[in-house]
Amino acid sequence: MKRRSSNRKNNIYLPIKGRIESIVPLTEDVNFYRIRSEKPLSYGVGQFFMVSVWGYGEVPISVCSLPEKPEILELSIRKVGFVTNAIHRLKEGDELWFRGPYGRAFPMELSINRDVILIAGGIGLAPLRAAIHWLIKHRKKVRHISLLYGAKTPSQLLYREEFTQWEKEGIKVVLTVDSPEDGWTANIGVVTTLWHHIDVDFKRAVAYICGPPVMINASMLDLYRFGMPLSNIITTLEAHMKCGVGKCGHCYASEKYICTDGPVFSYEEIKRYRLL
């Protein structure tokens, strides 16, 4: 019986300490956190961290920034339950621990010399914000960029202050809501009613999608019908996660651990492994 000699440098479950540098409320229940890490970080678009509040637990949260400054991490967190409520009770200057990054990143290089469609629902814009920052950084190498973004109400749209900046960079931002509020002039309905707003060559474009499962399914199916290759339709899936490293079993679905094999998958893989 062979014993494997340990090749680990550190404990995969041990979080590192970060400090909350600033908190910006984005909506009624979503806060934006800028965190300063004790150690330099490197991460890709679409990867996530296990964020922990000692005494409460850990939750998976996607990064919504690019690793431009190696000690800075930006997260947008919606208050929905036990741990996320504990995070929302923290103040600027408090500790927030985290470990990662985990999971596969978005294949951003697919967007080079292509039209790009970003499709987001609700908090799903968080990981795509990092993708948008990447596309802006590589703007010259990418063709048309469109963002189709939907939320329940106008006040639940994230990053509203950044939209003008994104539009300045040549990103077509198309918004929609389920229920309008006073002064809302844009669309009403689900994101899949917005296709006619964008002018793209679907057969050669690439799409990055994040949102609730119904939205992901409907968007992927439409894009497929429009002739987009299955391997160019990219999404990221949500699952209950307790470890992030393929051990706890919670995220396991059809042979795949969403945490390590995903959370980013192409439509081709989703169909092959029946993940949705």
Partner 1 sequence: MSSEWILDKNHLSYWLRQLRKEADLIGPLRKPGGDIVFESIERIHEIFLDLPALIPGPKEFLFPQYEKLFNKRDSKVEELSIKRKRVVFGVRSCDVSAVRLLDRFFLDRFEDPFYSNRRANTLLISIVCNNPEPTCFCAGIGTGPYLREDYDIQLTDLGERYLVQAASKQGIRAIKAYSFIFSKPTRTDYDDQFEVQLSAMARFQKRISLERVRSMIITGKVRDTFWEKVATRCFECGGCVYECPLCTCFTVIDRVFGDEIERARIWDACLFKGFTRLAGGVLPNERMVMRTKRWYYHKLVHYPEVIGSFGCVGCGRCTIVCPAKIDMATVAIKIKALADNEEKIIEQKE
Ligand X SMILES: Cc1cc2nc3c(=O)[nH]c(=O)nc-3n(C[C@H](O)[C@H](O)[C@H](O)COP(=O)(O)OP(=O)(O)OC[C@H]3O[C@@H](n4cnc5c(N)ncnc54)[C@H](O)[C@@H]3O)c2cc1C
Enumerate binding residues for partner 1 (CB under 8 A).
1-4, 6-8, 11-15, 17, 54-58, 80-81, 84, 95, 238-240, 242-243, 245-253, 255, 260
Sites for ligand X among residues 124-153 (CB under 6 A): 126
| Tokens 């010259």 -> residue | 140
Q: Among 60-68, 169-177, 178-186, 226-234, which window interacts with ligand X (CB under 6 A)?
A: 60-68
Among 26, 145, 228, 238, binds ligand X (CB under 6 A): 238
Q: What is the CA radius of gyration of the chain?
A: 19
Among 4, 113, 185, 249, binds ligand FES (CB under 6 A): 249
Contact between 257 and ligand FES per CB under 6 A: yes
Residue type, 180: P
3-state per-residue secondary structure call for 170-194: CEEEEEEECCCCCCCCCEECCHHHC
Residue type, 179: S
Sites for ligand FES among residues 1-40 (CB under 6 A): none
Contact between 13 and ligand X per CB under 6 A: no
Residue nearest to ligand X (CB): 81
Contact between 104 and ligand FES per CB under 6 A: no
Of 48 and 166, CB closest to partner 1: 48
Structure tokens at 145: 């960029």
Instruction: Give the nearest distance from C-beta 12 to partner 1 in angstroms.
Output: 5
φ, ψ (nearest 5 deg) of residue 174: -115, 120
Instruction: Give the nearest distance from C-beta 181 to ligand X in angstroms.
Output: 22
Contact between 72 and ligand FES per CB under 6 A: no
With a CB cutoff of 8 Å and minimum separation 6, the contacts of 7 are: none
95-119 burial: b if 16+ Cβ within 10 Å, else e: ebbbbbbbbbbbbbebbeebbbbbb
Nearest to 100 by CA among 270, 210, 241: 241
Among 118, 120, 207, 241, binds ligand FES (CB under 6 A): 241
Nearest to 247 by CA among 4, 50, 2: 50
Residues of this chain that bind ligand X (CB under 6 A): 48, 57, 59-62, 76-78, 80-84, 123, 126, 238-239, 241, 263
Residues of this chain that bind ligand FES (CB under 6 A): 241-244, 246-251, 257, 259
